[in-house]
Amino acid sequence: MLTVNTTRPAGPAGRISRVETLTLGTAWRDFSYVRIHTDAGLSGVGEITHPYRARETCLLTEAMAQRHLLGADPFDVEEIWLRLYQGDFLRGGDVGGIVVSGVDQALHDLMGKALGVPVYRLTGGACRDRVRVYANGWYTGDREPGAFAQRAKETVAKGYTALKFDPFGAGLGELSRAELRLSLDIVAAVREAAGPDVDLFVEGHARFAFHTAARLVRELEPYDIGWFEEPLPWTHIERYAELRQRAAFPISGGEHFHNRYEYARLFATDAVDIIQPDLSMAGGFTEVRKLAALADLHSMTVAPHNSNSPLCTTASVHAVLGMPNFTILETFDGLLEPYVFEAVRGALPIESGYIGIPDKPGLGIELADEVFEEHPPSHRFWNMFAEGWEKRNRT
């Protein structure tokens, strides 16, 4: 068994002695986690959810643990991050990026537990009393203006002050005239239903040709949206800045990048107004803090992507509490079955569109193994470029 070779004395968390992975099946997606144990009797958890490659992500986590984690001090987060990324020759990418991110979350959980403080105390403290969140996933069902409007009303009634949605169906590259009219009618219906005081964010899912995206930024202007997210594929990142110049509202994006090196072109081209790193994809606490600082250098704000479980929601709250250029946090928590919250016990609740300051040591979450046993992974796949994807049917 390979172990980390160091003569440095261990910190208050001890040394890493065992690493395991768990996956929970849901109707939304399979949620995966890493749990890291130390010889001091502590355990820390992090989220390693991949929307389609749960097996691969868990296997890589377990393999990298043998190479880089066993025997390491959880407090050596910078060295461990470098070992995982550089020492394993990851060179970026989604599966490796998710592993590094989840491990980093678990290390911070261990540090917080060892010191008896919430993680946010270790990552900049707090510069706000609560974290504003927006709802996603609320529009599951028929793609029709009236149905969207009804679900928007129901979501706002739960206390949310911001909603994100994709009105474009299976549109890719271009939209037919009929599809364009339907998409804009949906946006108009949601704006009327939500009222003028609710922020609306429109999702593009990185799939339009430039001329289609350029028309959309004109057509969306009357609806006073908070941002247009990923209107172009990232293979055309250089054209984002040109689109920004045409838009009367912010352009956002960045969820698909996994570290500062992948973000470099986004910053170099001033591609967006708002970056959207995911704490479970972009390198965990260690890296997302650096991305936020780089964003501030470019006069950009941060609205973290989070299409994961309540564990990532909770971890993201810890991450953004001390982030001066934070805007708002995404959450799908309202879409999930009750047993998900039983599986990740201690996840922070959403109250009237906000999440309060955590007070438990570490992340404050423990995984309930018995719930995982009752709900094994399903390995579902739903194609976002197929008709009816937004219904998220259990297939």
Residues catalogued as catalytic: 205, 305
Strand partners, 331: 135
Rg (CA), the chain: 21
Q: Residue 270 carries which side chain, given as an amino acid letter?
A: D
DSSP-derived 3-state class of residue 38: strand
The size of the chain, in residues, is 395
Question: Taking Cα atoms as reference points, which of 286, 291, 259 lies closest to residue 93?
Answer: 259
First to last CA, the chain: 41
Cβ atoms of 158 and 194 within 8 Å: the answer is no
CA distance 232 to 239: 8
Q: What one-character DSSP code corresponds to residue 239?
A: G
- Give CA torsion, residues 137, 143, 146, 148, to 10 deg: 10
Stretch (H or E) spanning 224 = none
Q: Where are the beta strands (DSSP E) in the chain?
A: 16-24, 31-38, 43-47, 130-135, 162-165, 199-203, 227-229, 251-253, 274-275, 301-302, 329-331, 344-345, 354-356, 366-367
Q: What is the Cβ-side half-sphere exposure of residue 233, based on CA atoms within 13 angstroms? A: 10
CA distance 92 to 261: 8
Alpha helices in 11-136 (DSSP H): 54-64, 77-82, 94-115
The pair of structure tokens assigned to 251 is: 């352009």
Q: What one-character DSSP code corresponds to residue 258?
A: -
CA distance 242 to 183: 23
Question: Taking Cα atoms as reference points, which of 320, 261, 326, 270 lies closest to residue 298?
Answer: 270
